[in-house]
Structure 1
Amino acid sequence: MESNLLTQSFDRLQIRGRDIRALYDSLSKQQIRELKSLIESTEFRFDIVANLPVELIPLVFQHLEIYQIFQCRRVSRQWLHLLGADEVVKPILHPWTATEDVKLRIPEGSSSKTVLSIYAEHQDAFQTGNAFGRFQMPHGQIVPRDVALFRHAYSDGLLAWVSLIDGSDVIYLRDLESGDESTFMPPERDEIDEIVLSQTLLVAMTTSARCYIWAHRTLRPPFVLRTPSRCRNIFHLSKASFVLIHIQPNSSEALAYQSIPVITWKLRDSWQLQPPEQPPQAIVSQFSIRILSGYSVMGWHDVYVERREQHIILLESTVIKNKRTHTFRVFHLSFEGKPLFEESLDCPFSTSVSWNAHENHPLHKDRFFDVWVVTYNLVYYDSQNHYLPDSQETGITHLRYYLDRKVFRVLDRKTLPHSHEMPSGAMMEILPWKGIAYFEEPRDHAADELQYHLRVMDFREETCVEARYVAPQGSGGSGSLDRARLFFGDEVFLVKITSTDLIVWCFDKHLRIAGEDENFKEERRLLQCRRLINSAHRRCEF
């Protein structure tokens, strides 16, 4: 009985819909404009959303994409008011607007509603690969794949890379916004193994086990530091500090602890008062810590410095071969090497981890620090032990360490099954950031040609899609698969390095980068217009 009533109601609704459409088609343009004006000025009593408590409205709209939320403001004047209010929009944008490292260009005099709209559009651009601008330039050299990752560095709109000029390694530093470039060369003309960059410092590790540290905004000569050796150094660079950890290879099958040396370097407050012909003045100290090592262990270590540059955090990631447990261990140390905290966490995985990439987030107001770890597995069997051909699984683990409370925990862990082919050497070619991961999927375009397509993984939305407005880049001959490919970036810039060119995408609407591709920008604008026109047509048809 209830089923028949529902069917009859649906039939009446369809008939009424056809009658409304016929009536709409019979109206003149002037009558349509008058009807639209009447609708917009009418207060609808059945607007459920408008009558919800203001605390519940964000819970309703958080299930939409950010750009869809702001499109909803066109529904009515009342929705425009609701979806422009700080108490509604700020909770939705909190994961993006709460971070201090976001440096959007906000036009002066912008209202609160405009600023929130800019953040929303900005977030949508990054989540979908819908960049506002692009810049591309020849790389100027062929970069061997095995050193590509280490001979490039990025920090907050600055990009550095090493080129071979007249038989000597030279570091180029480019401001992506202004296009200004400067060069740096080790005084001893040493061969450079690796570089790292911050807003004020540039560090080059050389094959002669020397470390050169420049205050790159000045013309001072570098500070020279001798390292234990050139074997597997890991380091972190902040505004005025540099921490280096030297890990010696251990070929033993047994899992054992290994004592490793740590060197800390910190600028003195008075270094700029010294004569300009002198290198930066710094305090250097050394100590050692114990880590797990062994031939049967796959893993990495990374080191971070908190904002006040008083504490060091070492993160150890360990996967024992043929076991399905990924162990994370955090060390909290003072700059002088005093141990303050140590704890381990075990995170089970569905299969053995093939590789992992990671991205740290700056310490938020000196209270906690976050790290996202992306792991990639080939999945051969499901939970019922059924064979899964060509299936892959990418997971993201969100870890957080609270400095003041000395608490280390896993905040979130998500898995994204997919069939997209991950690129060769993907550990060096994926950029994880705030639950988003960029990578390039290689596709056979012809028998002797390989083409790459930029894809965006969103672990919150559990999607893996092709970047919306990024044209395919990097097609080449049969050897193109072996070209060096890696990503750097943050919320504002995405930088892709290959052996032949350098491509930068900009996700800030009001930022113009030097050498910007105007055709790319115009194509994006036209596609956006078509999208809005199609959306308007669909609303009219309804």
Structure 2
Amino acid sequence: MNRSNQSDCDALLAPFSQLSTRRGKRLALEGLMKTLSHQEIRDVQKLVQNIRYPTDIFTRLPLELSQTIAQYLGLSCATRARGVSKDWYNLLVSYETTRCLLRPWHATGGSTLRIPDGLSQSAISSLEAEHINAYRSGTAFDRLTVERPISRHGTISNSVVYSNGKVAWIDKNTTTSHVLSLEDNGCCLTNEGDGEVLNHLALSGSMMAVTTLTGECRITDFAKGVEHRLQLNPTMVEKIVVAKETLAVLHKPLTSKTVQVGLTTWTLDNRTSLHFIPSLHRSPEQALRPCDLKIMLDISGSSVNIFEREAQFVYFTRLNLEGRVQAEGTLRMPITEGYGKHSEESTPTNINGWATVWSYSNCRQLGRNTVTIEVVRVQYELDRDVLRLKEDSFEIWAVPDLIISNIFFWNDIAYCQVRSYGCTFLNIVDFSKSFMTSAFMGEGMRFTFGFQGSERRDRRDRREFLNSGDMLPSLFLGDERFLVNACQYGFLVWTFDKNHGMVKTDAGYKEKRKEAKKNRSGPWSRGWPGHR
């Protein structure tokens, strides 16, 4: 190219380089192509064909090898990498790749999401990945607010429970129980009973159990619509749990210093109660508090686990329904003096193969503007009969009056209530990123429900609570599909299942979510998984 041609080329490219948008450059190129002759266009094509572009080695590998490599990516990285090219997108949404990426999130045997008929395996995997991204980013697909005053008799964990898309609670009159099906057209089953005060509640997909102050346990079989009754000692019931068609009752020890507790098991199959007295792992001199004992049934309802907290140790004992010991284990605890205690009232539930029995958090000042939150979890793995200590931490800005409560865990994600500046917020923690932020699904609302009723005392109590600025005592329940936050005035339900089946939901929530996603505000502005 001679000097005159070079100067002509520079003069042509100068205004083109000043264009800032792709559309402007494309229009400029289209205009330039219209001025060229056919021979000049062929010369340009030949010149472009001779240019050597970098080779995408990843997609040129054998398919099986590329899929194996992709499985080492985190789910969030793999989701963002879909935007690299069409070849990358096809590879990363393939069933073989997403199946391995999703396996850590569905360790108990697959997802429980509602999957429409006729979807391919690739479409199902993409739907599951979208569900997990929504869970990890705090962007639930829908929300439901239920304002139903819940009984104040005893702890709230005894008055409201969740299982398999159903929420059950004892109302403020303490004589009526309700079961709300979140996914089946909002069907609500109400049992007014005979006026006796109810004090303990448990729920599974097959049945509900509720006890009275007189010691009677009433068991409702959902499939047959039949109620069974079981008589217990009215002063000794500490906790009841159900799984599938099995009921287990933990009885209070006779004294505060004892090495034995009572257990009762009952099943819908034979409807015969069995009583036995397992031994604890403490000496008679050590005092026993109710919060230091917990029980849970396994998923199938074929065995019951007792968890015991004593000084710096945690023990578990797994027994069959006849009381024979099947497995035992122990775990040494770190010193948690001064830590905030969570999961004290909640019943351990199987979340992704692990059950969080007790959890603790501690705020440690790093600098003038930074605080490290240390979280310690005592977890039990059902498949291997082992206890483990899970320790995580994340950093946040130091703010006055910081209180964290009600932590709910699933995999490396935690939802919690955080109070700061006198207000309560719903926050989400991603332990894989050591990151904490406000969840979109809690924006625009407060964790104090409107009151329904006319009793002066209740209105006065609620007004005094709101004026005090204290955190509303509440409890998190749920699974991978629904997250429930319950307090004495009702409960909130968020769903991470696009095909959830809830009919009545909060007006305007979906529209706010779409608007935030369109404007890339909230979690979508932070580059959360799923944002491309």
Same fold (TM over 0.5): yes
CA distance in 2, matches of 1:170, 1:145: 13
| Range 208-217 or range 307-316, more displaced | 307-316
Alignment of 1:244-393 (within 5 A): 244-248=249-253, 250-252=255-257, 258-268=259-269, 282-292=271-281, 294-295=286-287, 300-318=292-310, 320=311, 325=312, 327-349=313-335, 353-357=339-343, 360=348, 362=350, 370-373=354-357, 375-379=359-363, 392-393=373-374
Written as runs of structure 1 = structure 2, the 5 A alignment for 1:160-309 is 160-165=168-173, 169-177=175-183, 178-187=185-194, 189-220=195-226, 222-231=227-236, 233-248=238-253, 250-252=255-257, 258-268=259-269, 282-292=271-281, 294-295=286-287, 300-309=292-301
CA contact (8 A) 1:453 1:472 kept: no
Distance 1:439 1:411 in 2: 20
- CA distance in 2 between partners of 1:520 and 1:490 (Å): 21
Partner-residue secondary structure (3-state), 1:528? helix
CA deviations on 1:263-314 (whole Å, 9 max, x unpaired) are 110122xxxxxxxxxxxx6021111011246338795333233344332222
- Map of 1:437 onto structure 2: 414
Query: Paired residue for 2:436?
Result: 464
TM-score normalised according to structure 1 size: 0.75
Deviations 1:7-31 (A, max 9, x none): xxxxxxxxx9x95966957524485
Map of 2:386 onto structure 1:
408
CA distance 1:317–1:33, change in 2 (3 Å): farther
The CA deviation at 1:497 is 1.9
Identity between Structure 1 and Structure 2 (%): 20
- Alignment of 1:27 with 2:25, yes or no, is yes
CA contact (8 A) 1:360 1:370 kept: no
Paired residues, number: 466
Q: Whole-Å Cα distance in 1 between the matches of residues 150 and 98 of structure 2?
A: 47
Cα deviations by residue, 1:475-519 (Å, 9 ceiling, x for unpaired): 663146364422221111111223334321111112241212241
Q: Is the 8 A contact 1:305 1:313 kept in 2?
A: yes
Give the secondary structure class of the aligned counterpart of 2:175.
strand
Counterpart amino acid of 1:316? E
Q: 1: CA distance between counterparts of 2:83 and 2:331?
A: 48
Other structure's SS at 2:440 match: coil
Cα distance in 1 for residues equivalent to 2:516 and 2:86: 27
Query: Is the alpha carbon distance of 1:435 and 1:346 closer, same or farther for their aligned partners in structure 2, counting shifts above 3 Å?
Result: same
Question: Greater strand percent: which structure?
Answer: 1
> Structure 1 residue 248: deviation in Å?
2.3
Unmatched tracts of structure 1, length 5 or more: 1-15, 269-280, 445-449, 536-542
Residue in structure 2 matched with residue 399 of structure 1 by the alignment: 380
- Distance 1:194-1:387 versus aligned 2 partners, 3 A rule: farther
Q: Which residue is equivalent to 1:107?
A: 116
238-247 or 293-302, which deviates more: 293-302
Residue matched to 1:133: 142
Aligned residues of 2:242 and 2:301 also touching (Cα < 8 A): no
Larger Rg: 2
How far apart, CA to CA, are the structure 1 residues paired with 2:87 and 2:388? Answer: 41
Superposed displacement of residue 150, structure 1: 1.5
Q: Which residue of 2 aligns with 1:505?
A: 494
**Once the 2 structures are TM-superposed, how far is the Cα of residue 129 of structure 1 from its aligned partner?**
1.5
CA RMSD in angstroms comes to 3.8
In the other structure, the counterpart of 2:478 is 489
Contact kept? 1:315, 1:331, Cα under 8 Å: yes
Q: Distance in 2 between matches of 1:416 and 1:230?
A: 44
TM-score by length of 2: 0.76
